[in-house]
Amino acid sequence: MNEKDKNSLENGTGLGRRRFINSAALAGMSLGALACTDKSSTAVAPAASGAAPATHTGGAGSAAHLKPGELDTYYGLWSGGHTGDMRVLGLPSGREITRIPCFVPDALVGWGHTNESKKIMGTKADGSLRYSVADTHHTHASYKDGNYDGRYAWINDKINSRIARIRLDYFVCDKITELPNVQGFHGIFPDKADPVDPKINYTTRVFCGGEFSTPLPNIGSDDASTYRSLFTCVDAESMEVRWQVLIDGNCDLTATSYDGKLAATNQYNTEMGAKYEDMMSAERDACLFFNIARIEEAVKAGKFKTYGDSKVPVVDGTHAANKDAKTALTAYVSVPKNPHGVNASPDAKYFICAGKLSPTGTIIELAKVLDYFDGKLDSADKAIVAEVELGLGPLHTAFDGRGNAYTTLFLDSQVVKWNLEAAIKFHAGDKSAKYVVDRIDVQYQPGHLNASQSETRAADGKYLAVGCKFSKDRFLPVGPLHPENEQLIDISGDKMVLMADHPVRGEPHDFIIFKRELLSPKQVYNLDDFPNAIKDPKDSGVFRKGNKVEVKMTSQAPAFSLRDFKVKKGDIVTLTLTNLDKIEDLTHGFAIPKHNVNFIVNPQETASVTFVADKPGVYWCYCTHFCHALHLEMRTRMIVEA
Amino acid sequence: MNEKDKNSLENGTGLGRRRFINSAALAGMSLGALACTDKSSTAVAPAASGAAPATHTGGAGSAAHLKPGELDTYYGLWSGGHTGDMRVLGLPSGREITRIPCFVPDALVGWGHTNESKKIMGTKADGSLRYSVADTHHTHASYKDGNYDGRYAWINDKINSRIARIRLDYFVCDKITELPNVQGFHGIFPDKADPVDPKINYTTRVFCGGEFSTPLPNIGSDDASTYRSLFTCVDAESMEVRWQVLIDGNCDLTATSYDGKLAATNQYNTEMGAKYEDMMSAERDACLFFNIARIEEAVKAGKFKTYGDSKVPVVDGTHAANKDAKTALTAYVSVPKNPHGVNASPDAKYFICAGKLSPTGTIIELAKVLDYFDGKLDSADKAIVAEVELGLGPLHTAFDGRGNAYTTLFLDSQVVKWNLEAAIKFHAGDKSAKYVVDRIDVQYQPGHLNASQSETRAADGKYLAVGCKFSKDRFLPVGPLHPENEQLIDISGDKMVLMADHPVRGEPHDFIIFKRELLSPKQVYNLDDFPNAIKDPKDSGVFRKGNKVEVKMTSQAPAFSLRDFKVKKGDIVTLTLTNLDKIEDLTHGFAIPKHNVNFIVNPQETASVTFVADKPGVYWCYCTHFCHALHLEMRTRMIVEA
């Protein structure tokens, strides 16, 4: 046993034997399979150290169960994975309160069916949706003074490189932007301040990491070594793409500093490999830092290219173009083997990367990264202030605001709680510094985790949610497709305490948790927000121009303003419905049988659909959203004349 | 105060003043609005009687909170309303474990995207989906010996008159049938036995109620009084429509007797009105009984018509054609004002209808209905053995197997527990019979409710779930669209005890709850179940016939069998993927950027998609469903040559 291994055993981390995982071994064994063959929870490999504590469960569990009518104290915004939506949870109960459709149609609200939502989603020349699948991974909200300000949240679509913005007043998506020349748009993070103007202490930019490299422009080349990735900046208000950075390697997740000066992305494929064996051949990859002020100066100075049809300025962030730190736009800090995740500590000092295929967590001090850009360090790697062993398959890190970090260990099926300052001391040579504070088994194979308020200056160390990718035996069996398991852990004490298992439909990745006081949602729309609103039932009617017919209607429980209406076969009908009911929760729906129409109008909302009335007959349009004792009787007839 | 009112006050029901709700008053007032103006729970009107107990909450609440890893003891199958899916809940936790897509595309699994699912859903001539909206209301499962047998569940789509079957081994939809000449297909119920053959003690038919009346065949006529509704029988195995019955009035919900002889539907619009004022003009509507054996004899004897393009035999169940009870196919039992709901008691003796616009519950004795069909009663109404006052807006009824019924009171925002035999005694003249056992406030405006095992002979009186249509102040605010509130009540004691509030996405209607032992789901598919399975990675490749290209691939974590593949611009590509991983929970996804492709393959499953490769370039296809430590690295390249 070498000295380092011995020390780490003495330190209680007990992971000396694990070191970096050998590439050859990994290629030969199916880790997913290994992780999943055994059904009993005891089969999950504990930490190698005999000192690893068993799962704690206790009295805290009941805190997750609210009494009937009791409100949750935290909101959670969860990405919906390839369900393509954003989900809103209440915590600590773990209850899903709503889903916000954005990239993918939603039959409940008529998202992707109404003209208003189709315009946001984007359509092809024939009026059909451009995309109806998506893969959302990361969601983050707008900041002010280092905390959420309740304006917006953003979410990514990895499949089609789209970013959606959610308004947090009405909980609706209002803009979607497709990033040019990017494939596998994965990480996303808003900035927290302007790098130059101290008055702008709130989010004005959103950074987006492009994970897959392609030819630029994308022609069908075989030679993956010529492919490149882009890091993208989107304007938080206009949702237009401001600029992009050409880089070496790829982007994965994204983080931003509290002072607005730095953004970063972890890189797991600095090798630019096209196959997994190649992607894991190097022992170290990187955390790539972007100097935002310099990038924007370069753009202003015209030092950029454009690619293909895109007009977006692309500056050069490759190694070759950034050798002089004093003028560099980028700094590549090396991080062990295929890191997955980069997170900013709430004290604004550090970014943490974890190794995935190395058992280590790396602490990078941001002041030192700025020193590097100022020419005060001869290597960006000197910004690393700790690199300590945590366990097998470390991925993402959350914080409690008390100096501790919580990192998921995918392969160990654990969360490890570790102290940042102790880790820094240990790394600096003080082998008595016990940086591992606690470990807890989770069920099973955790990916993302996040703590309440973790990614703000107001991290409060109360709850930790852990997104476990496999649930196996934790819920009643429901066929081959298992739910995932979002576990809730009480982190208010020294020991982590498992509170509850919550099954979720696949597959949430990242999420944020924040105090309910930070939002002030509205329950009733303003009629004036809809240019096509029908403000008076008297304005209802059927208005024809050739075969284009406008049907204008209002709803007030228990009736629609038109009790029946007539159109002709072949008419292109645009039906607009304004809900004149003003009372909270009094939503109406509108369905037309056989014409593939259904959508809802919330109180004081207006929505419209366009369809071809191609089948003569009588069609009972009816309210699909329960509204009133006479809901079943709330109907109108569309008569399509032959 | 008249004698009846006085008696009911003494009885503790205290609803004498309420009687039938006056049509004129109803037309003038917005009940939905009234029910929703006040935010505080205390504003919900209590029962008029001073004796109405307050909401009970207590120790039972904690029973809804399972410890981490503890399994639920009951499955719940919930309809998803106009979300268009079926949901699977665990109870008592109320956790949603999975959603089963059927009528509406689901981006997570690729439902509506894979060729296999599109075939089940139905497509237009151009290959696009026929429908992508739906409105599911009722779900019921197949029976054997009066209890669920774990084979199938069925669910309706009211918008497009479709019925879907769910296999309860794999929790997937395998068949969808569109009912001919039906609009507003609402109620659904499987039979529990054959009416003639005692050996067939299991489900072979599913009955479907058509709510909206239309011209037959459907030409665009104004005159609603000429419209007609059909009651439909679907074969449980083939999913083909066996026969239909032409009726007077409309169908709403459906129930079946345990002996297989009778099915019934409640009718809220015997007036055949086209506007809500007309639909509520009569003081009594009906519960319409179908004599299944006689109907099938009539079909066999050729005594039927067909309508339009449909070949389905339609027998005549109208009043005019069924005046002689001894040969009648149907019996119309009158029920007070716009009843909503008909439910079969677990002792197999009674069907219960509630009045909605009358405060009454009506008990119909099935033996007496059979007596009517045998000519032993001079009026079908003589099968009514009780008609008692319950509260305002009574809708649906569940049972505890101990002789008690539980009925939702929409307007009172309560559930009333009442004893059937006591109600029968009271109706027969014994005014000392106290049939109302308990009341509990619910939050708010309950629609459907159901008890554990309620609609089986094994009703166990443990849990009652109540689908409250409005949640208002019960959850954190999430914008104008509120969740609904599925409340769980412990009914194991004399008093009902509220256990938990569960928010759900709109809008579940009906649901069933049954013991977990009744299902034996499978977690891994059988390769042989898929005719297009690629059983050996060696069979992978690109196979071209002109511009039609077949791409065959397998998945085994962490790689796809083709590490890249080439097609040409304009190719019509059918990509087939077999997941050769055999381990439970090891699902893979497959996304192709910019080609609107994403779907999953569960262990040993095969799925295929067809798309046009219309954009030259490199496209990183990647695994979208977390599978393995090297999940991010699990990719293949599609190179589209110009």
DSSP string computed for A182-251: -EEEEEEEE-SS-SS-TT--B--EEEEEEEE-B-SS----S-GGG-BEEEEEEETTT--EEEEEEESS--
Give residue B23's pLDDT band: very low, low, confident or very high (50, 70, 90): very low
Q: Strands B95-101, B85-91: parallel, antiparallel or unpaired by DSSP? A: antiparallel
Identify all chain A residues contacting B527, using CB atoms and an 8 Å cutoff. Answer: none
The span from the CA of B471 to the CA of A523, in Å, is 13
Identify all chain A residues contacting B128, using CB atoms and an 8 Å cutoff. Answer: 128
pLDDT at B222: 86
The span from the CA of A66 to the CA of B189, in Å, is 36
State the complex-level ipTM.
0.92
- Longest alpha-carbon distance in chain B: 89
Beta bridge partners of residue A617, listed in sequence order = A640
Residue type, B320: A
Mean pLDDT for all residues in chain A: 91
pLDDT at A363: 98
Give residue B55's pLDDT band: very low, low, confident or very high (50, 70, 90): very low
Helix %, strand %, coil % of chain B (to 5): 15, 40, 45
Residue of B nearest to A222 (CA): B639
A18 in contact with chain B, both atoms CB, cutoff 8 A: no
The span from the CA of B88 to the CA of A476, in Å, is 10
Q: What percent of chain B has pLDDT over 70?
A: 90
Is the pLDDT reported for residue A36 higher than 90?
no
Each residue of A522-577: pLDDT tens digit?
A: 999 999 999 999 999 999 999 999 999 999 999 999 999 999 999 999 999 999 99
Compute the average pLDDT of residues A435-449.
97
Give residue B329's pLDDT band: very low, low, confident or very high (50, 70, 90): very high
Beta bridge partners of residue B361, listed in sequence order = B354, B388
CB-based contact B132 A631, cutoff 8 Å: no
Tell me which residues of chain A, numbers 87 to 146, contact chain B at a CB-CB cutoff of 8 Å. Answer: 88, 90, 95-99, 104-110, 113, 128, 130-135
The span from the CA of A434 to the CA of B487, in Å, is 48
Each residue of A445-463: pLDDT tens digit?
A: 999 999 999 999 999 999 9
Identify all chain B residues contacting A219, using CB atoms and an 8 Å cutoff. Answer: 616-618, 642
pLDDT at A27: 39
Identify all chain A residues contacting B340, using CB atoms and an 8 Å cutoff. Answer: 632
Integer CA distances (angstroms), A482 to A529, A601, B85, B526, B622, in order: 42, 34, 17, 17, 20
Give residue A60's pLDDT band: very low, low, confident or very high (50, 70, 90): low
Beta bridge partners of residue A637, listed in sequence order = A564, A620
Could you tell me which residues come within 8 angstroms of residue B311 by beta carbon, excluding any fewer than 6 positions away? none
In A442-581, DSSP assigns E strands to: 446-451, 463-468, 484-490, 497-504, 511-515, 541-545, 548-556, 559-560, 564-568, 571-579
Compute the average pLDDT of residues A349-372.
97
Is the CB of residue A413 less than 8 Å from the CB of residue A442?
yes
Tell me which residues of chain B, numbers 269 to 288, contact chain A at a CB-CB cutoff of 8 Å. Answer: 269, 274-276, 279-280
CA distance B298 to chain A (A): 30
Is the pLDDT reported for residue A520 higher than 90?
yes
Query: Strand, helix or coil at B114?
Result: coil
Q: What is the DSSP string of B539-594?
A: G-EEEEETTEEEEEEEEETTEES-SEEEEETTEEEEEEEEE---STT--EEEEETT
A589 in contact with chain B, both atoms CB, cutoff 8 A: yes
A2 in contact with chain B, both atoms CB, cutoff 8 A: no
Angle (nearest 5°) at CA A196 between A195 and A200: 80
CA dihedral over B409, B410, B412, B413, signed as positive or negative:
positive
Each residue of A78-135: pLDDT tens digit?
A: 999 999 999 999 999 999 999 999 999 999 999 999 999 999 999 999 999 999 999 9
A58 in contact with chain B, both atoms CB, cutoff 8 A: no
Mutate one of A97, A225, A267 to test the B interface: name it (highest B CB count within 10 A): A97
Query: Strand, helix or coil at B485?
Result: strand
Give residue A62's pLDDT band: very low, low, confident or very high (50, 70, 90): low
Is the pLDDT reported for residue B80 higher than 60?
yes
Tell me which residues of chain A, numbers 203 to 262, contact chain B at a CB-CB cutoff of 8 Å. Answer: 211-212, 214-215, 218-222, 224, 227, 252
The span from the CA of A522 to the CA of A66, in Å, is 24
**Dihedral (Cα; A252, A245, A273, A254), 10-degree rounding:** -10
Compute the average pLDDT of residues B256-272.
97
Compute the average pLDDT of residues B13-20.
39
User: What is the reported pTM?
Assistant: 0.92
Compute the average pLDDT of residues A589-598.
98
CB-based contact A81 B108, cutoff 8 Å: yes
Choose among B606, B601, B551: nearest CA to B574: B551
Compute the average pLDDT of residues A309-323.
98
pLDDT at B33: 36
pLDDT at B60: 54
The span from the CA of B439 to the CA of B51, in Å, is 10
Is the CB of residue B366 less than 8 Å from the CB of residue B348?
yes
CB-based contact B69 A169, cutoff 8 Å: no
Each residue of B531-578: pLDDT tens digit?
A: 999 999 999 999 999 999 999 999 999 999 999 999 999 999 999 999
Q: What percent of chain A has pLDDT over 70?
A: 90
The span from the CA of A526 to the CA of A604, in Å, is 6
B393 in contact with chain A, both atoms CB, cutoff 8 A: yes
CB-based contact B67 A90, cutoff 8 Å: no
B19 in contact with chain A, both atoms CB, cutoff 8 A: no
Q: What's the gap between Cα A4 and its chain centre? A: 37
Is the CB of residue A307 less than 8 Å from the CB of residue A244?
no
pLDDT at B61: 55
pLDDT at B36: 34
Choose among A410, A405, A417, A415: nearest CA to A392: A410
Is the CB of residue A380 less than 8 Å from the CB of residue A372?
yes
Identify all chain B residues contacting A66, using CB atoms and an 8 Å cutoff. Answer: 501
- Select the more confidently predicted residue: B57 or B90: B90
The span from the CA of A530 to the CA of A601, in Å, is 12
pLDDT at A195: 98
Beta bridge partners of residue B334, listed in sequence order = B286
CA distance B133 to chain A (A): 5
Residue of A nearest to B88 (CA): A478
- Select the more confidently predicted residue: B521 or A57: B521
The span from the CA of A535 to the CA of A556, in Å, is 12
B84 in contact with chain A, both atoms CB, cutoff 8 A: yes
Each residue of A387-428: pLDDT tens digit?
A: 999 999 999 999 999 999 999 999 999 999 999 999 999 999
Give me the phi and psi of A404, to 5 degrees please.
-105, 150
Is the CB of residue A228 less than 8 Å from the CB of residue A214?
yes
Could you tell me which residues come within 8 angstroms of residue A296 by beta carbon, excluding any fewer than 6 positions away? A195, A243
Is the CB of residue A133 less than 8 Å from the CB of residue A159?
yes
Each residue of B597-616: pLDDT tens digit?
A: 999 999 999 999 999 999 99
CB-based contact B184 A593, cutoff 8 Å: yes
Count of CB pairs separated by less than 8 Å, A with B? 483
CB-based contact A631 B26, cutoff 8 Å: no
H or E stretch at A372? helix A366-373
pLDDT at A224: 87
CB-based contact B32 A635, cutoff 8 Å: no
Angle (nearest 5°) at CA A614 between A611 and A620: 75
Choose among A235, A238, A247: nearest CA to A207: A235
Spell A467-492 as b/e; 16+ CB within 10 A means b: bbbbbbbbbbbbbbbbbbbbbbbbbb
Does residue A152 have a cis bond before it (omega within 30 degrees)? no
Is the pLDDT reported for residue A38 higher than 90?
no
Identify all chain B residues contacting A559, using CB atoms and an 8 Å cutoff. Answer: 275-276
A10 in contact with chain B, both atoms CB, cutoff 8 A: no
The span from the CA of A93 to the CA of A95, in Å, is 5
Is the CB of residue B488 less than 8 Å from the CB of residue B462?
no
Q: What's the gap between Cα A20 and its chain centre? A: 29
CB-based contact A585 B471, cutoff 8 Å: yes
Is the pLDDT reported for residue A208 higher than 80?
yes
The span from the CA of A306 to the CA of A217, in Å, is 9
